[in-house]
């Protein structure tokens, strides 16, 4: 391991949900270390715990036990407001459902988190344009989500994530709603951004195309890591 803080470090990570009187152990003591600049996939069937793990890394949920650090910062030590700032300033999210605001253009969607971060307006516009150009949407800046294909909407979501993220991009099944051509194109873009911007990418997926591109694939079953492969 390098001396630099790990992008993600989990030790004994647990998550238990209650469904009525039944306890569901979504994660059962996960140990995980992700180095800065990795391109890693969490793989496994539905219910394996991969999305739960991604949500804990993204500070969208709190663990029931164990610890989770992002960039060396212990998330358990942060208040709700500090966790919100962590998500806003250091983590980019790409969701299966895109989560774009339909009344905003591609450019305005990409600018939104930058504005929340307090970036000056002109700088905000410049960076959002650069990121949309990087994902091949330079000629579609002013189109709203309803005027874009599914693949193009997901590219806007990626542009928004990488524009806002300083270090880490989390992608939950990003290719699930895309056709093969759009999925391959999106993955090409993510690989290029990983290499050119040294962003750390962590996916949850069951898509063989994502696993084929990942340099590390971590397999989960029943809330535990059962196998790991390196490219």
Q: Domains in the chain, ordered, with CATH?
A: 37-59+80-215+226-230 (3.40.50.300)
Tokens (6 digits) for 12:
């004994």
Cα 13 to its chain centre, rounded Å, is: 19
| 79: confidence class by pLDDT, cuts 50, 70, 90 | very high
Q: From the CB of residue 207, how many other CB atoms can be counted at a distance below 10 Å? A: 18
Q: How far apart are CA 213 and CA 216, in angstroms?
A: 9
Instruction: Give 114's pLDDT tier (boundaries 50, 70, 90).
Output: confident
Give yes or no for a contact between 155 and 78, defined as CB atoms under 8 angstroms apart: no
Res. 197 pLDDT band, cuts 50 70 90: confident
Mean pLDDT of 50-77: 93
The 3-state DSSP composition of the chain as helix, strand, coil percent (nearest 5) reads: 40, 30, 35
Q: What is the pLDDT of residue 167?
A: 81
Q: What's the angle, vertex CA 46, arms to CA 41 and CA 50, rounded to 5? A: 35
d(C-alpha 198, C-alpha 169), whole Å: 11
Residue 129 has a pLDDT of 92
Residue 2 confidence (pLDDT) above 50: no
Give me the pLDDT at residue 3, please: 56
In contact, 178 and 186? CB cutoff 8 Å = yes
CA distance 110 to 186: 16
pTM listed for this prediction: 0.87
Nearest to 125 by CA among 112, 139, 111: 111
Which helix (H) or strand (E) segment holds residue 131: the answer is: helix 121-134
Percent of the chain with pLDDT over 90: 52
Q: How far apart, in whole angstroms, are the C-alpha atoms of residue 33 and residue 51?
A: 17
């Amino acid at each position: 391991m390098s001396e630099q803080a790990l992008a993600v470090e989990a030790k004994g990570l647990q998550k238990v949900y209650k469904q009525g009187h039944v306890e569901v152990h979504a994660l059962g003591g996960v140990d995980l270390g992700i180095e800065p600049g990795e391109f890693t996939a969490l793989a496994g069937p539905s219910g394996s715990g991969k999305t739960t793990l991604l949500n804990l890394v993204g500070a969208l949920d709190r663990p029931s036990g164990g610890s989770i650090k992002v960039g060396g910062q212990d998330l358990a030590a942060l208040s709700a407001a500090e966790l919100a700032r962590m998500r806003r300033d250091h983590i980019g999210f790409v969701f299966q459902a895109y989560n774009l605001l339909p009344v905003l253009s591609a450019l305005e969607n990409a600018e939104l988190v930058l504005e929340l971060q307090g970036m000056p307006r002109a700088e905000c516009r410049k960076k959002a344009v650069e990121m949309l150009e990087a994902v091949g949407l330079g000629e579609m800046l002013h189109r709203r989500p309803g005027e874009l294909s599914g693949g193009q909407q997901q590219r806007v979501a990626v542009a928004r994530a990488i524009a806002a993220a300083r270090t880490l991009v989390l992608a939950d099944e990003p290719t699930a709603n895309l056709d093969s051509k759009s999925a391959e194109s999106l993955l090409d873009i993510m690989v290029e951004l990983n290499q050119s911007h040294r962003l750390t990418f962590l996916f949850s997926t069951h898509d063989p195309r994502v696993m084929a591109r990942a340099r590390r694939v971590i397999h989960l079953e029943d809330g535990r890591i059962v196998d790991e492969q390196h490219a």
